């Protein structure tokens, strides 16, 4: 068996893709979508994908493309990944994996046979999300997302972080506040924290149409289990004390800067990158908080040590540095996944 990073992550045998995870177009015998962020979902989906019901519903709402899905397949088990609503890690048993038609391969191999593909993940329980639980995973090989794979990316405990955000919201209750986060994930958590902070004070929470559409998709997907108080705004003129939540990619847009200045507002950015001072300047934020949907460095290390696999493949972010750290400091066989690189043989 080999693992390749191509269009998505390919778990192959003799060049044949048995399992493909988070591809935009490539397909295998079994196709997994870990969550509904655009860079992890299909442009043109295959006949059937393995994902959560929430991911299928949110992806359809965001792309306009419906697809058939199943939450289990031979050799594939999905477990909560704690990244966004519906996100799942995949436990792949290569002795049992097969097509969705029920055909099953019995593989004999000297290498790892049980893989954990985390996709984007977080071990923290926060707001309405259950974190990824590495204690519930048994795997010979771990394919792990390492966005914040450097020691400087250590984030405060979640309760302290949310308390600091709430304090800032209260301290600035006499002027409009503009908060920036991803439309799927961070934006919903910001609404959750803002609602808990304002309570019955009736401080209005406004969101962009894009975030409003994601809110409704999540509410439908969870059948009323989750609801968000943000109301899509008609205008950003005449604001007083509203909390406005916008997509992070709009932070430096001219119309945003104009609205903030005109309404005497403040801007806040939310990301793990807030550990770096440069993040504040890039977004022209007044304040930043390291609120993220990913693991910090220590959480990544603890995830690996808890699962304790024979082999670790790293991907995204500081993949090379984290793999080297695992090898030199903890004695793991670890290697970053690079596009089109065959990696399993390199451990021989």
Task: List the domain boundaries for the chain.
Answer: 2-152+294-347, 158-289
Whether pLDDT at 146 is above 90: yes
| Residue 275 near residue 294 (C-beta atoms within 8 A) | no
* Highest CATH level, class, for 158-289: alpha beta
Q: Specify the pLDDT at position 137.
A: 96
**CA atoms of 198 and 193, how far apart (whole Å):** 9
Q: Give percent of the chain with pLDDT exceeding 70.
A: 91
From the CB of residue 237, how many other CB atoms can be counted at a distance below 10 Å?
9
Q: Specify the pLDDT at position 53.
A: 94
Q: Specify the pLDDT at position 344.
A: 40
Selected residue with higher pLDDT from 292 and 12: 292
Q: Specify the pLDDT at position 98.
A: 64
pLDDT-based confidence at 224, cuts 50/70/90? confident
Whether pLDDT at 262 is above 60: yes
pLDDT-based confidence at 191, cuts 50/70/90? very high
Q: Specify the pLDDT at position 343.
A: 41
Selected residue with higher pLDDT from 347 and 276: 276
The whole-number average pLDDT for the span 287-291 is 98
Average pLDDT value over all residues in the chain: 90
| Residue 101 near residue 73 (C-beta atoms within 8 A) | no
The whole-number average pLDDT for the span 100-116 is 55
Tokens of 167: 């304090």
Whether pLDDT at 110 is above 70: no
Q: Give percent of the chain with pLDDT exceeding 90.
A: 76
Alpha helix ranges (H) inside the chain: 53-63, 158-171, 186-198, 209-221, 254-262, 277-282, 297-307, 319-330
Whether pLDDT at 328 is above 70: yes
pLDDT-based confidence at 42, cuts 50/70/90? confident
- The pTM assigned to this predicted structure is 0.91
Whether pLDDT at 106 is above 80: no
Q: Is 136 helix (H, G, I), strand (E, B) or coil?
A: helix
Q: Specify the pLDDT at position 206.
A: 97
Selected residue with higher pLDDT from 98 and 219: 219
20-29, 40-49, 78-87, 91-100: which is most confident? 78-87
**CA atoms of 139 and 308, how far apart (whole Å):** 8
The whole-number average pLDDT for the span 108-113 is 58
Structure letter (DSSP) for residue 47: S
Tokens of 238: 């005449």
Q: Is 151 helix (H, G, I), strand (E, B) or coil?
A: coil
The whole-number average pLDDT for the span 42-59 is 89
Classified by CATH at the fold level, domain 2-152+294-347 comes out as Metallo-beta-lactamase; Chain A (3.60.15)
Q: Specify the pLDDT at position 111.
A: 61
Contacts of 93 (CB under 8 A, 6+ apart): 75, 76, 77, 113, 114
pLDDT-based confidence at 278, cuts 50/70/90? very high
Q: Specify the pLDDT at position 346.
A: 38
Whether pLDDT at 348 is above 80: no
The whole-number average pLDDT for the span 151-169 is 97
Q: Specify the pLDDT at position 345.
A: 38
Whether pLDDT at 102 is above 90: no
Tokens of 186: 């961070």
Bridge partners (DSSP) listed for residue 88: 80
């Amino acid at each position: 068996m080999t693992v390749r990073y191509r269009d998505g992550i390919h778990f192959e045998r003799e060049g044949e893709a048995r399992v493909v995870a988070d591809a935009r177009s490539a397909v295998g015998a079994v196709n997994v979508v870990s969550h509904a962020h655009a860079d992890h979902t299909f442009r043109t989906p295959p006949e059937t994908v393995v994902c959560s019901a929430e991911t299928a519903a949110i992806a359809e709402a965001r792309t306009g493309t419906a697809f058939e899905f199943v939450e289990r397949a031979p050799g594939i088990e999905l477990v909560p990944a704690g990244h966004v609503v519906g996100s799942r890690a995949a436990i792949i048993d290569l002795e049992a994996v097969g097509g969705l038609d029920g055909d099953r391969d019995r593989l004999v191999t000297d290498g790892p046979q049980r893989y954990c593909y985390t996709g984007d993940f977080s071990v923290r329980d926060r707001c309405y999300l259950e974190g990824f639980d590495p204690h519930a995973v048994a795997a010979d090989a771990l394919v792990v997302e390492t966005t914040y794979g450097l020691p400087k990316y250590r984030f405060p405990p979640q309760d302290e972080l949310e308390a600091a955000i709430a304090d800032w919201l209260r301290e600035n209750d006499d002027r409009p506040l503009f908060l920036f986060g991803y439309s799927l994930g961070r934006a919903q958590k910001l609404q959750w924290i803002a609602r808990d902070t304002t309570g019955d004070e009736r401080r209005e929470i406004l969101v962009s149409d894009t975030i409003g559409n994601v809110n409704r998709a999540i509410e439908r997907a969870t059948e009323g289990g989750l609801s968000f108080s943000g109301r899509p705004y008609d205008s950003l003129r005449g604001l007083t004390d509203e909390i406005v939540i916008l997509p992070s990619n709009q932070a430096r847009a001219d119309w945003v800067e104009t609205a903030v200045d005109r309404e005497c507002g403040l801007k806040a950015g939310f990301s793990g990158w807030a550990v770096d001072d440069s993040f504040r300047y890039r977004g022209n934020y007044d304040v930043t908080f390291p609120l993220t949907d990913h693991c910090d460095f220590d959480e990544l290390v603890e995830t690996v040590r808890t699962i304790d696999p024979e082999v670790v493949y790293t991907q995204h972010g500081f993949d090379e540095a984290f793999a080297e750290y695992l090898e030199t400091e903890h004695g793991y066989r670890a290697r970053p996944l690079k596009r089109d690189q065959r990696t399993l043989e390199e451990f021989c």
